[in-house]
Amino acid sequence: QKEMERSARERINALKNNDEEAYMKLVDEHKDERITHLLRQTDRFLETLTEAVLEHQRDHMKNNKTNNVNSDDTETETVADGEDGKKIDYLAIAHKVQEEVEQPNILLGGILKDYQIQGLKWMNERGPYLIIVPLSTMTNWVLEFEKWAPSIKICTYKGTPPTRKLLQKKYLKNPECQVFLTTYEYIIKDKA
């Protein structure tokens, strides 16, 4: 608390003395201190949360062991206690069941980067997809799908009102359509 007050006084004095450079330096230091403080709070919260998850997992394992005393398939999995001094990763504890996401075999035109595969893993969506794009880019989207994932069935929703009515009947009940491509304007027009 005293450190914060001292820092605030130094900033005010620098401002009074028209020393903009010193003032900006003190402001930057204060921002760094604040971010560090928030990161420490986040770490403490994650530690508390991790302990709660571990406790829940321990209770669950105890209940399973008492219920399955005569069963051959009792769980032998143990929960990491972190008593060896190592920091426990909350995400690893909370998400024990993990599915490895690999390069999709429908993607032919290239290889996904690591961050793209992580995004696929995070989304965990297999379709069908509604993609809303500006009308001027709709043709480009179709070309990109043909280039990168030609096996994906794309349904483009555009045209005059009678044409769109026919497309609604054809595509909306079509389970083979994996990507439904349209524009915001068509959605708003056909909403009514």
Whether 80 and 8 share a structural domain: yes
Q: Which of 176, 127, 183 is nearest to 156 (CA)?
A: 183
- The number of folded domains in the chain is 2
Q: Are 57 and 131 members of one domain? A: no
Residue 99: inside a domain, yes or no?
no
How many other CB atoms are there within 10 angstroms of residue 156's CB atom?
17
Instruction: Let me know whether 66 and 8 are in one domain.
Output: yes
> Please, what is the end-to-end C-alpha distance for the chain in angstroms?
59
Same domain, 167 and 90: no
- Mean pLDDT split into 10-residue runs, the chain, 192 residues: 76 75 75 75 84 82 68 42 53 62 69 74 72 93 88 87 86 77 88 68
If asked whether residues 61 and 127 sit together in one domain, one would say: no
The pair of three-digit structure tokens given for residue 124, joined into one six-digit string: 């965990």
pLDDT at 182: 92
Cβ atoms of 74 and 65 within 8 Å: the answer is: yes
Structural domain for 164, as ranges = 114-191
Question: Domain of 141: which CATH number?
Answer: 3.40.50.10810
* pLDDT at 91 (0 to 100): 62
Please state, in angstroms and rounded to a whole number, the distance separating the CA atoms of residues 74 and 68: 6
